[in-house]
Structure 1
Amino acid sequence: MNRLLSVIFISRFGQVLIFLLVNSGDGAIFPYFYQLFTPIYYAAPACFYLYVTTFISGRNRLRKFEWLYFVPALLAFIHVLPLPVSSVVRWESIANEIDQNKQLFVTERSGLFPGWFYYLGRPFLLLTYLTATWITVFRSKVRIEKMDTGARNWIFFFLRVATFFQLISFIPLLTLDLEAPLFKASFILINCTVLLMIIIFILHQPKLFYGYLFVAVDLDHDKDNTDDKVSINDPELPKSTAVPKKTTILPDQLISYVDSMKSFMESKRPYLQSDFQIVDLANELNIPVHHCSYVINSSFDKNFRDWINGYRITFFIRQYPLKSDRMTIEAIAYESGFKSLTTFYNAFKKETGLMPKAFFSQQLVS
């Protein structure tokens, strides 16, 4: 999925780069980049379709027959090879058509195959895979509704942005004055605006973006041998909380505090916030901080950090079997409220007596 998504981004980058090179008048470099990105253009529509379908289905590998979707990209690669039988390419004419905002509809021959291979082939692939993707999404409504909120938000955001970028390529067909400077400026402005929207989305949803797109941590990788290593140099290791010696709480009040804390943790799940502190708990329940500390130490026999990490580990144990096929352990640990893997492994070992791999293996046996 990481590779599929990277091809989509690189393809869009290539379109903007080619457009800028042509408009800068640098005719010497432009042909090399044009040939370089052509196979990627033909692979991008298939990558878009495969990324969405594998994301929705929860798969992390392509099926064997799905590699056939990349046959057009292979043909495009052959098309741009400098073979002896290839015709002479008129790069000035191609540059002029791109300068007129016809990058998707270049009619000049650019390689081994005739011009229609480009100006009919690319639009056909783009529209075919775009239509197939949305049909798949509509047919998978039930599966999508079962996704967690973050995954659902991401896939619909990605779908809308990618669809917008693909459809905007057809604007030249609807525009009469294609050489107007306003349209060229608008092309760059629209691309930059949408890119800014993506960046803002990522900044507001960092866990989602990191967890679903570019994570590559393998829980079961033998070389990492993570289960046998627990670092003690963890800046987030539980630290003892000072409890005033003269703290006095009546039995009824102690029971009330315990019930309030349990109810709040189970209903609001504040432990999912990695920066949640005992001060926040005290403010939410309107209880003095030193009373919170005393109750946690005396009634739960833990300090605050161990107590809240216990909730996070319980949440992780429930979520991992449901999400391990499409999310990494690091992503699920972050989703559970941990700031780092080191903190997570230490807490998991302390709470269950085992490391994750051994714990879930034991669960399967039992």
Structure 2
Amino acid sequence: MNITLLDFAIIVSGSIGYFISIALITSSFYKNRANKYLSLSLFLLTTLTLLDWCDLENYLSQFLNNVMLDLLFGVILFTYFLIQIQHNYLKKKWYKWLYAFFFISVIIEILVTFFHAIFNFYNPDFDGWVYYIKYFGSFVYNTFLIFWARNLIKRSNTISEEKKRWLLRLNLFIICIVISWILSHIESYVFDSEYTTDFLWILISFLSWWILYYGVFRLQIVVQKDEIHQYLVSKKTHSNQAKKKISETTVSKIINQLYIVMDEEELYKNPLLSRLDLATRLGTSEGYLSQILNQETNKSVIQFVNEYRIEAAKNLLLDPVFNKYSIQAIGMEAGFKSKSTFYNAFNTSLGMSPGAYRKLQKKS
């Protein structure tokens, strides 16, 4: 058997898909209700891909193909979206009926297999019609669930914009897979070729890698950041950061106002905060703000803002309550846009990484 580059990619991505599925339900860092459904969704998608790629003729593979696992995949992925946006549909009694189509397909397959085995009944035309009805129904049902979920995500106001963007991207990725799936069937029937099928397999293979970083690691960081923020808001401590005292040498009204808005409104926690944003908030120009800040504090705007962020991060790293959260999530809550920016600013200020600072404080 000659293994092509595409075959190798499918095998590797399939292995990655199963690995991620297991990691999501065994690792304490990733374990939560939503990730359980994401894990099962990825497991089913990987299994469907490998079953289609292997094209095995044994009874087990044929049965798994015929019971329409993709119907189960659609509902489970839909549930994942509902959990992420905290939708009240999950509490409705009718929600469980969404699984009915999958169980109906299982019952149909069992009955068909029974008639074939016991009564030696086989009609190619009848089997063909059953096949096309099930696959067309699966396509329509999954497409309906995907676009329904997309509409719910767009209308949701219970999640952060970053999480919403991730969910919409994942949803769009699944839409692309469904479109490629139907095009592959059309191409195979009309042109008797499989170029779209190859593209579909590449797309599904890439999805495993994409979910590994953006859907699992990055999203978990965002979730942790949101948990930290919600805890601080609920306790109304805002990390108990000490208010900065205005220096006696500070004579500018603009700088006095800058200290006040930074302390009271915590503008530094906005990772997209710019010099223009600060100048507009203070009712002055960017140039004048930079000039007066440099004269009175000997710092640039970014140095001034990062000083607040580092102080906030230090307080979070020192608090045992946040020991279970990753350093990157703490950096995001403090206002840093990326891991590299956080580490560089922290190391420049204290001469050590955030991780080393946390370990040092635990030992002392």
* Greater share of residues in helix: 2
| TM-score (ref. length: structure 2) | 0.49
Task: Return the TM-score normalized by structure 1.
Answer: 0.49
Query: Which protein, 1 or 2, shows the higher relative CO under an 8 Å CA cutoff with sep ≥ 6?
Result: 1
